[in-house]
Structure 1
Amino acid sequence: SRSDTEVVLRAYLEWGEEFAEHVHGMFAVAIWDSRRRKLVLARDRLGKKPLYYALRGSRLIFASELKALVAHGGVARELDHEALVQYLACEYVPAPGTILRHVRKLPAAHVAVLDDRGFRLRRYWEVPGPSEQRVSAADAASELLRLLDAAVAKRLVADVPVGVFLSGGIDSTSIAALAVRHKKPLQTFSIGFVEESFDESPWAQLAASRLGTEHVSQKFSGQDCLDLIPAAAAQLDEPFADPSFLPTLLLSRFTRRHVTVALAGDGGDELFAGYDPFLAHRPASVFARVPRALRGAVQTMVHLLPASPRNMSLDFRLKQFLRGVDAPPSLRHASWIASFLPAEIAGVLHPELRALASAEVAFRQVLEDAARTGARPGSVDEALRYYLTRYLADDILVKADRASMAASLELRAPYLDTGVVEFAARLPWRLKMSFTRTKVILKRALRGIVPDEILRRPKKGFGIPVAAWIRGPLRPLFEELLSESALRDAGVFDAAAVRSLLRTHLEGRADLRKPLWTLLMFQLWRKHHAQAVSLRSAA
């Protein structure tokens, strides 16, 4: 067959409810079995595609977009107070919850069935844990390269033009380097920013020159992002506070002018311990044993450092490190990337909501994930599982899917090939990181394929200069949506507390880009989607 749908239906006829275990790729599927009067919903292993549902008595209402689902008259529009707390902490609403009380997300790697026996959920796949079988670094690197090359080759198959996102980082450059083996000429795409510390376009150009791709790039400014924010908010069914959604949307729109399908490097950081917090993992355990008085002195000195607007500046990293270092070991990584810590959430909520929204639920899903997987609390393996099963599914893939779909661009992620994921997940963490280096085994596999300058460069991330823009081109928007009147009308946040945060940032006394952006995106979401949402329904 040439039809994906026919193949999926044939799989269902062959294996019934277990069909999803045999399907690989990105999918959200609904199948009505009229012979058995059974409705089956299924979502891909890692959550690349969204699927929302509401169970109302014997009826199951479902859609791939929340706004389509709530258009159904049978779905109540009530704010979920636990989801609000989790959003303020995580910058997204973790599955299976949604921002609306009566709507759920079908979690990744799950099948849902509604029939005469009722409604039931079943997990059909789990990320494997580290293997006890020993493997040499050389053998692991060789097999990883083989699997990744095959994953790239599979995703280049299309009857429409295909290109590659190229930021100049290790992950995207590796995809381009392997793709150019199988497809010439190959177009690559990047965007840059006028602000130098956030601009990766020179690295993307270097990578493209070395690989021999046809590279297309464009630079954007703060005003470009300002113009995009209303459209971006309209694309998001739920409040979502990862600022890199904006450049991802810009890149997707820009790329779609040239190709219909693009390959991206999503997944490399989660599989191979690529994020900066992994370098803080072991120092945090050491710092936690330092006498409290000495720790307090260090914290005081760090907080006296002036706030720098530069991307991942030293003062920003040190302050984020100290914010999470005292958290329970299983919550350190979630705390390091949080906008609000649980102890801070009540202070920004409207007084009438504080009693309805307990801050104790902020990281509940993280703790439940940790308990289910059984990794040692505070271990690197536990942290890797958190990034792969929670942060990837609820942040990175949401960002990638919503931005690319808004531009009618199909985005494919070779690193998230099932074979690559399962192989990487079984590798011991010591092959992935050392005390001072991340992605160790990946870099070894890519020697001679990715330029040495790219392999050696520190991770930068696909960020935008939010801290500086809040004091510059975005200030009017923040002043409008976080004004006392706007906050009072919304009735969700404490106006005095939020205004104090904004004033502190504008005066340069602290870098509060993360909490302020999180508050702004909620206000924008409410403006576009939720004016009629009830805020104070029974919890």
Structure 2
Amino acid sequence: MCGIAGEVRLDRSPDAEAVRRMGPALAHRGPDAEGFFFEGPAALAHRRLSILDLEGGGQPMSAGGCTLVFNGQCYRHEALRAELRARGHAFQTRSDTEVVLRAYLEWGEPFVERLDGMFAVALWDSRARKLLLARDRMGKKPLYYALAQGGAFLRAPPAEGLTPATGALFASEPKALLAHGGVPRALDRTALVQYLAVEYVPQPRSVWDAVFKLPAAHVAVLDAQGFRLRRYWELPLEGGAPERLDEAGRGLVERLEGAVARRLVADVPVGVFLSGGVDSTAIAALATRHARPVATFSIGFEEASFDESRWARLAAERLGTDHHEERLSATASLDLLPAAVEELDEPFADPSVLPTLLLSRFVRKHVTVALAGDGGDELFAGYDTFLAHGPAALAARIPAPLLAAASRAAALLPASDRNMSFDFRLKQFLRGVGAEPSLRHQAWIGAFAPGELARVLSPELAALATPEVVFGPVRAAAARDAARGVRPGSVDEALRFFLAHYLEGDILVKADRASMAASLEARAPFLDLEVVEYAARLPASLKLGWRSTKVVLKHALRGIVPEEILSRPKKGFGIPVAAWIRGPLRPLFEDLFSEGSLQRSGAFEPAALRAMLQRHLSGQADLRKPLWTAAMFLLWQRRWGGQG
């Protein structure tokens, strides 16, 4: 795993000293080596975390007039290497980086469609004077960029197709673009409003109005014509896969085991994140078929309703792994908050990033690569919201006045600090029932609804708090899916929402930033291309029952994963945010939400947001999600700047 950065200017020379500053800003992503390339219009920087071919494989890597900086892993690279050798290519290293570079030399821009893995690619082709940027199909590895036209930077994300541009800067993380010094640092107000609603900044925007995210499964080219952006892969439609449970399960295990085996390949120690849930236990169990002993790692909480450590210990004991465990307290989480804000460098409101950071630091003491269960919930309808999907469709038929009365009654229930308590679930359920079917899951998992945002934002920002702005990315994706034949409001549409939005914008961001902050490479077998495409084609009825989630996955894992794990209730990787805001984090929240702090921010209506905090502190309401989301923006703003 690595960090990449650079600048290409087709109308002037790039700023070499600025690019030299970009590399060290990504040192945590690649502590083992640093490299630079400067030639004509191009300046590239690379930080390396050595995983394969430790002695060779240095970057930037050049051949045939092209130079590559590559972040990620290309699986099945040996088969691709053999094919390229047969076509006349002579290899100098064992690294997958050279395979990627020579694949471009052989096939040109479509080479990215031959890659199987997690990656962010930047390639300078001096022969054609063009820069190529590409990102893997699921968005496992990040890539940010800024576009210049002459002396000015574009301040809105480019659409697919051709955009006038003469220069581009790119980096694995925004902090490297900021270290360059030439990129404007103005806040993107639309991005802020969307963040407050969904708890992360949705692609293609970033929190900075001149910095954009290359979306997953996209390739971009900057050349004399301008900047061209196109999608190179689509998630397959449902259909064309086995419809019988037994047959579907056998095919799934075969593909998942292959994915695990491929991700165990490394020239450094490899372990497995083990929470004791179905997904991580499946990965650990399949890993034990290919390696012994398998090192597993988990984290526990002192607060009982959030603690999963006993399940992780049970799984490790049954599977015979070399298990390691560490516990997290409220005090430890307080200590991690500044590190989280520093590493994320965009507002990000998933509080589980804190234990993920701690876990990654802990794991890195033992191994350099860790396999994780990310993607299982999104592929197989594992979230609790899926169990609410059918009942919500029925409840939506209830007259609006009755639903409003039910919501008012639910609001009177005493607020509990327990993880996923009954009152929290009921209130969230009623909140999503009245939403458009395509937006229902977003309403359930989000922080602020548009109407709530309009009440707490400053007047200038409140004008943006409309459903059209807040839910713009989700609505656009739903329209694309509908045009391809996906039924609005269906389980299949909901799965696509989680894969295209929540997974890419939240789960994978958390996994990447937390692991890379510790110089740890995280690999996700569930997000293997074969597994993803197979799962997408399976009927939704094999994934979700009226009372059960992950139907086909759990069926397939019988005899592989302990029965106690398969039948246990789901418990997310959460932290006791509601209790911590009233307890050890109270001084921090009172400071962040003070009159002076909110006035300086310029983003909020102080009285409205302070009233929300007081309602939570007094126990009148459980407002953990909106309060945490606002607090993480305020902390980000203090560190990185950007006025509302």
Q: TM-score range by the shorter chain?
A: over 0.9
Name the CA distance, whole Å, in 2 between partners of 1:301 and 1:355. 30
1:458 corresponding residue in structure 2 = 569
Structure 1 residue 291: deviation in Å? 3.1
2:69 corresponding residue in structure 1 = none
Name the CA distance, whole Å, in 2 between partners of 1:355 and 1:141. 49
Unaligned runs of 5+ in 2: 1-92, 150-165
1:116 corresponding residue in structure 2 = 224
Aligned pair partner of 2:582 in 468, 471, 476: 471
1:132-165, CA deviations, whole angstroms, 9 ceiling, x for partnerless residues? 5653111100000000011101111111111100
Name the CA distance, whole Å, in 2 between partners of 1:373 and 1:356. 26
Name the CA distance, whole Å, in 2 between partners of 1:362 and 1:479. 27
Structure 1 residue 299: deviation in Å? 2.5
1:237-283, CA deviations, whole angstroms, 9 ceiling, x for partnerless residues? 21000001001101101111111110000000000000000000010
1:395 corresponding residue in structure 2 = 506
1:36 lines up with 2:160 in the alignment: no
- Equivalent positions of 1:220-299 (< 5 A) are 220-299=328-407
- Equivalent positions of 1:40-439 (< 5 A) are 40-57=132-149, 58-132=166-240, 135-355=243-463, 358=466, 360-374=468-482, 375-439=486-550
1:516 lines up with 2:608 in the alignment: no
Cα contact 1:85–1:358 (8 A) shared by 2: no
Distance 1:150 1:134, change over 3 A: closer
Structure 1 residue 300: deviation in Å? 3.1
The TM-score, its normalising length taken from structure 2, stands at: 0.81
Cα contact 2:191–2:207 (8 A) shared by 1: yes
Name the CA distance, whole Å, in 1 between partners of 2:123 and 2:402. 61
The aligned amino acid for 1:267 is: G
What SS does structure 2 have at the residue aligned with 1:181?
coil
The aligned amino acid for 1:131 is: G
Name the CA distance, whole Å, in 1 between partners of 2:440 and 2:544. 18
Structure 1 residue 24: deviation in Å? 1.1
Name the CA distance, whole Å, in 1 between partners of 2:378 and 2:117. 18
User: Which has the larger displacement, 296-305 or 314-323?
Assistant: 296-305
Name the CA distance, whole Å, in 1 between partners of 2:242 and 2:519. 44
The aligned amino acid for 1:32 is: W
Cα contact 2:278–2:561 (8 A) shared by 1: yes
1:446 lines up with 2:538 in the alignment: no
**Percent identity for Structure 1 against Structure 2:** 67
Structure 1 residue 416: deviation in Å? 0.4
The structure in which a higher percent of residues are helix is: 1
Structure 1 residue 15: deviation in Å? 1.2
Distance 1:305 1:397, change over 3 A: same
Cα contact 1:342–1:360 (8 A) shared by 2: no
Structure 1 residue 72: deviation in Å? 3.0
The aligned amino acid for 2:595 is: E
The aligned amino acid for 2:128 is: R
What SS does structure 2 have at the residue aligned with 1:253?
helix
1:7 lines up with 2:99 in the alignment: yes
The aligned amino acid for 1:68 is: A
The aligned amino acid for 1:414 is: P
Structure 1 residue 356: deviation in Å? 5.7
Name the CA distance, whole Å, in 2 between partners of 1:358 and 1:380. 26
What SS does structure 2 have at the residue aligned with 1:87?
helix
Cα contact 2:492–2:540 (8 A) shared by 1: yes
What SS does structure 2 have at the residue aligned with 1:148?
helix
Cα contact 2:377–2:383 (8 A) shared by 1: yes
Cα contact 1:160–1:259 (8 A) shared by 2: yes
Cα contact 2:450–2:465 (8 A) shared by 1: no
Structure 1 residue 78: deviation in Å? 1.2
2:5 corresponding residue in structure 1 = none
Q: What value does the CA root-mean-square deviation take over the aligned residues?
A: 1.2
What SS does structure 1 have at the residue aligned with 2:108?
helix
What SS does structure 2 have at the residue aligned with 1:436?
coil
Aligned pair partner of 2:116 in 24, 46, 50: 24
Name the CA distance, whole Å, in 2 between partners of 1:73 and 1:514. 34
Cα contact 2:392–2:433 (8 A) shared by 1: yes
Structure 1 residue 483: deviation in Å? 1.2
What SS does structure 2 have at the residue aligned with 1:310?
coil
Name the CA distance, whole Å, in 2 between partners of 1:398 and 1:356. 25
Cα contact 1:194–1:219 (8 A) shared by 2: yes
Structure 1 residue 70: deviation in Å? 2.5
1:11-48, CA deviations, whole angstroms, 9 ceiling, x for partnerless residues? 11111111110011111110000001111000011111
Name the CA distance, whole Å, in 2 between partners of 1:52 and 1:201. 36
Structure 1 residue 350: deviation in Å? 1.5
Name the CA distance, whole Å, in 2 between partners of 1:120 and 1:24. 23
2:66 corresponding residue in structure 1 = none
Name the CA distance, whole Å, in 1 between partners of 2:461 and 2:546. 43
The structure in which a higher percent of residues are strand is: 2
Aligned length, in residue pairs = 533
What SS does structure 1 have at the residue aligned with 2:615?
helix
Cα contact 1:81–1:357 (8 A) shared by 2: no
Cα contact 1:192–1:199 (8 A) shared by 2: yes
Structure 1 residue 354: deviation in Å? 2.6
What SS does structure 2 have at the residue aligned with 1:149?
helix
Structure 1 residue 355: deviation in Å? 3.7
1:463-485, CA deviations, whole angstroms, 9 ceiling, x for partnerless residues? 00000000011111111111111
Unaligned runs of 5+ in 1: none
Structure 1 residue 4: deviation in Å? 2.0
Distance 1:194 1:534, change over 3 A: closer
What SS does structure 2 have at the residue aligned with 1:463?
coil
Name the CA distance, whole Å, in 2 between partners of 1:323 and 1:194. 31
Cα contact 2:364–2:518 (8 A) shared by 1: yes
